[in-house]
Structures are given as C-alpha cells and as structure tokens.
Amino acid sequence: MALINKDACKWYPVYTYPRAEKKAYQALVNKGIETYLPLHRQLKQWSDRKKWTEEPFIKSYLFVHIKEHEQTEVLMTKGIARFLYFSGKITPMPDRQINELKLLMASPYELEITAEDLQPGERIMIKAGPLKGLIGEIISYRSQKQLALRLENLGYSIIVYVAAALINRF
C-alpha cells in the first residue's frame, strides 16, 4: 500500500474578484506562491484606436500550486475571493488538467471558452500537431466539428478549433 503525502503541493482553482486576476496573480507571485494565470491575446477597440492586450482566458480564475496548509495565505491575498468548493470542501485539480491547459494555451489554435454545458459525444485523440495525444470529445457547436476538453473542477469547457483530418476516433 502506497503512502499518500498529505503535505505535497497540489493545484487549486481560486476565484478572484472581477477584473482582479492580474493583480492577484502578481500579489501571489510576490509572496513566492507558484501561480498560473492563463492569458490570451485579444484585440480591444476604443473610440480612437485598437490595441492587442493580454486578457485572462478564464474570467475571475487563476490556479495556485500549494500545500494544504498554505490555503490561508492565499485567501489573505488582495484580489482573492475564495477557493472553489466541490461537495462542501476545497478540492484540488489533477496535475494533468493544468498541464493540458498550459499545452492548449501554448498552441497556435484559436481557443474559445464557454460556460455552456456541452453534452458528451464521440471521444477522440488528436493525432498530429502541437496538441498531439490530447484526448477530448467531438461536439456540435456553431455547425463545426470541434474538439472540446472538459475542465471538470471548473464547470467550463474549452473549445479548440481543430481540422477533422487531425483526429482519430476510438
């Protein structure tokens, strides 16, 4: 029987106050806490100009890699509202999900996030390109075949635009 290290670092999703993701991220980094804030480039339109900006991919969320006893320190950080709870307790995310999210954010594919409850479909694996080996589900969304990867602990799905030629069914 393997012993589980209760004091090992785990990834936890953290909910921030609206539009406080970047400041909360920087405050956590300044405290020496490993933090991941997925950002994506977005073209913003003002009345007199357009500008590319880095915006949080998942609004009001970031992820901390901490030991269980460090949760209070995270909560005492400006901009942090609360941890996410599942069945009444703070629940960590599998390392695999954070690694897949990082892989997606580094890919050249156009990504879209939706809070829409996507229904499960045919399971597939990407067979080529930077996302090779990623497993997901085919969904019908805006009449296009797309790969949807679920982040179960967040209640969101990530939609990746991938050509049908790049997937294998299983």
SS3 27: helix
**For the chain, what are the domain ranges?**
10-93, 99-169
pLDDT digits (tens, 9 = 90+) for 56-85: 999 999 999 999 999 999 999 999 999 998
- Provide the 3-class DSSP secondary structure of residue 151: strand
- Select from 117, 129, 119, 112 the least CA-distant residue to 164: 129
Residues in the chain: 170
What gap in Å lies between CA 84 and CA 66, rounded to an integer? 14
pTM over 0.85: no
Q: How confident is the model at residue 143 (pLDDT cuts 50, 70, 90)?
A: very low
pLDDT digits (tens, 9 = 90+) for 86-120: 888 898 999 999 998 998 898 887 787 877 666 66
CATH assignment of 10-93, among 3.30.505.50, 3.30.70.940, 3.40.50.300, 3.40.50.620:
3.30.70.940
Q: Which residue has the higher pLDDT, 42 or 97?
A: 97
